[in-house]
Structure 1
Amino acid sequence: MCLLPDHEIVEWMQSGNLKITEYSEASLTPNGYDLRIAEISVPETGVKISEGTAVVPPKTMFFASTVERVELPDDVAAQLWPRTSWVRKGCLFGLGKVDAGFHGTLTFMAVNMSGVPLEVPVGDRFVQIVFETMHSPCQRTYERRSGNYQGQKGITLAPLAKPDVRGEHAHRG
């Protein structure tokens, strides 16, 4: 495994091997890319916004989706890391790995662990994605293994409907 540095991320995008829609030069970091918030949902309060600022009460979970849609090739996976500016505000994150071959926006969970309300503006950089090259391409990409969230857009909590063997859509859940 080898991390892609800034210039290689740009080269991979220029070649079409890696795609980041709504790319912003300001989000490129030395060894990754800062993903921005497109939508915020605070289930406990019923708030769901795609513009403006959400106020998350103390000790409350919330979800965010990304402005950017990523498309990973079959020989690149990614790690998701919280931006430390949000950790310093008291956010605890639920993040994971992005599998080779994944295409879509990303959904994150976070909790305001502080004792004060947290303002979370749409458009802010929230999570860093760090791309990892793999020794060789995977045999079966994310889409072919499970693909539960392949093509997701916006905050997605339940697996997406997938075509079944007859070509019809069956909901997974």
Structure 2
Amino acid sequence: MILSDRDIRGLLAIGDLVVNPLSGDTVRENGLDLRLGRGYCRFRSTGRVLDPRAPGEASDFYECSEADEIIVGPGEHMLLHTLEYIRLPSYVAGLVNLRSTWARTGIYIPATVVDAGFEGQLTIEVIGSGFPVKLYPGDRFLHLVLVKLQSPAENPYKGRYQGQRGVRLPKLFAENTG
């Protein structure tokens, strides 16, 4: 069952769902609008092979920084993060969608699921359009549809990305697995 704005406000009121910061326009008809954070990582163009068993240094494959403006180049792959830190209860999962305004610019994000019990800022892969698009931290960027599970997860999420802040690179890289 997809949660309505009324359901979401109820979960926020009892503390089962946490969204910080929570703005007046965060709760929508059937989900949450999440804002873009300042951090980003660009995928580096390299001839090196990323071997998951011996990945090397993250800086060989990613260039990470923070900015007040982020330009996503044509066809470019980047990792971005949400401004909001969220905590889902064990009986709610999330489906991440790009807000339609941004989808209409040609930007794309792969299908992303937020597991029941997840806590942290979301790291999202973004794929550029046919032309450069400028993004501004603080703008509403993602829509998180919240789905109530038929029963609470027996094993809610407790993985390596739990509690993440900023862009979190793949857990393959030792310096990034906290």
Check if 1:154 corresponds to 2:170: no
1:61 offset after TM fit, Å?
1.2
Change (3 A) 1:47 1:99: closer
Once the two structures are superposed, the pairs formed by residues 29-108 of structure 1 within 5 Å of their partners are 29-38=28-37, 39-44=39-44, 46=63, 48-49=65-66, 51-108=67-124
Partner Cα distance (2:95, 2:121) in 1: 14
TM-score, normalised relative to structure 1: 0.83
Task: Give the structure-2-normalised TM-score.
Answer: 0.81
Q: Once superposed, what is the RMSD of the aligned Cα atoms? A: 2.3
How far residue 117 of structure 1 moved from its aligned partner, in angstroms, is: 1.4
The letter of the residue matching 1:27 is: T
Q: Is residue 168–residue 176 contact of structure 2 (8 Å, CA) maintained in 1?
A: no
Give aligned-pair identity as a percent. Answer: 31
Alignment map for 1:125-144 (pairs within 5 Å): 125-143=140-158
Deviation at 1:20, TM superposition (A): 0.8
Instruction: Give the Cα–Cα distance (whole angstroms) in 2 for the partners of residues 93 and 171 of structure 1.
Output: 22
**Cα offset, 1:128, TM superposition:** 0.6
Give the letter for the 2:73 counterpart. Answer: P
Structure (1/2) with the larger strand percentage: 1
The aligned amino acid for 1:42 is R
Q: Deviations over 1:47-97 (max 9, x none)?
A: 622x41112221211111011111111111111111111111110112311
Match of 1:5 in 2: 4
Runs of 4+ that moved beyond 6 A? none
Contact 2:170 2:176 in 1 (8 A): no
Deviation at 1:25, TM superposition (A): 1.5
- How many residue pairs get aligned? The number is 159
The 2-side partners of 1:11 and 1:21 are apart by: 16
Whether 1:119 aligns to 2:119 is no
Amino acid in the other structure paired with 1:16: G
Gaps of 5+ in 1: 162-169
